[in-house]
Structure 1
């Protein structure tokens, strides 16, 4: 069985990141016995300049991409359908906001050190896309950390201290320098890239092909 290292460059507010991860997860389940994977979540901020109070998501997307409101609604409906097919209950709602996620990425770095990074990432996706929560809110982040078995007091100390800020900035710069401009981007064994919320079958094929390559 081949072991692969997979770095997942993503943001917790990106629906395609949640969809892509769920498809990857299913692909790895289908490849059980053939491929084993070590996942590492890497930071990417969709809205690094976003103010603390956030911004109305619909207004943000209409201004950013020039959609009409009908186009936006249809796009979101397509995303919801794709997610639901993977067992992921993503939902968009009126008044949904886009937030700054820098603190969430700092907490994810700490969670990696505690062996709970994927659990926290999944919980962050659920907080934003299922529960309509705020991934920039310190109280909600602390509650989320506790819900996956992390120490709430330490989580509070991480958030209040600014710990790991330099690491998050450095990692974001690293992946920008590698040419990552959109998410999700999956980097396998530091060499092979898979971009976007690919179907399960596409992940299976790509991972099989990479696993079959001879070691260098």
Structure 2
């Protein structure tokens, strides 16, 4: 998700997200649509930062629909229907079944991927979210994490995932730096100045790209 032609203005996007967050996936797809529509004008550098919506979730996971039901009560099915409609608008279906687990290890894998390139990092984020939010896989599952890492060509993933301390300090520092003053995700910061909170439509991103590029002239 980055290039360096030298002829276009660079737009830097820092994204704070959680791999279990459906609106983060919708926001990701809307960001990518906006980037695709403006690629003739800008180069993009996108970096992903961790946020944990529920650090208390067990690693072995819990039933996803039941988890939503305990949190949202009678409005759960309406929420699921709204999510599926939003997912359909970006070309997917929301998977409300399966298990949902602690996302720390998924963020540690994203950290490792980022060290090997932002394109690899984005590929890992995409795959983790697709597995969790559309394929009803649990991103705390070791085999799911290893499958994602292999698909993205991440080196040293098995040793990294099996060491619970690998990347932990970095994740904690990132959460403190990028997540301490926000109440929810997704959260986008563009060129270190403009902020968008939530899953905005592509035109909102495009408008912000334009403002950011004008300021850098």
Give TM-score scaled by structure 2 length: 0.90
Q: Structure 2 CA distance, aligned partners of 1:59 and 1:214?
A: 48
SS in 2 for 1:187: strand
Q: Which runs of 5+ in 2 are unaligned?
A: 1-7
SS in 1 for 2:83: helix
**2:60–2:141 Cα contact (<8 Å) kept:** no
Most deviating of 53-62 and 100-109: 53-62
State the partner residue of 2:9.
2
Give TM-score scaled by structure 1 length: 0.90
State the partner residue of 1:168.
171
Q: What is the CA deviation profile of residues 17-71 of structure 1, one whole-angstrom value per residue up to 9, with x for unaligned ones? A: 0000100000011111212210000000111111122222233333334x31xx2
Q: What is the CA deviation profile of residues 95-114 of structure 1, one whole-angstrom value per residue up to 9, with x for unaligned ones? A: x3321010110111110111
**2:38–2:206 Cα contact (<8 Å) kept:** yes
State the partner residue of 1:46.
53
Is structure 2 residue 137 aligned with structure 1 residue 133?
yes
Q: Which runs of 5+ in 1 are unaligned?
A: none
**1:19–1:88 Cα contact (<8 Å) kept:** no
How far off is 1:89 after superposition?
3.0
Is structure 2 residue 123 aligned with structure 1 residue 119?
yes
Aligned CA RMSD, in angstroms, stands at 1.5
- Tell me the number of residue pairs that the alignment of Structure 1 and Structure 2 aligns: 207
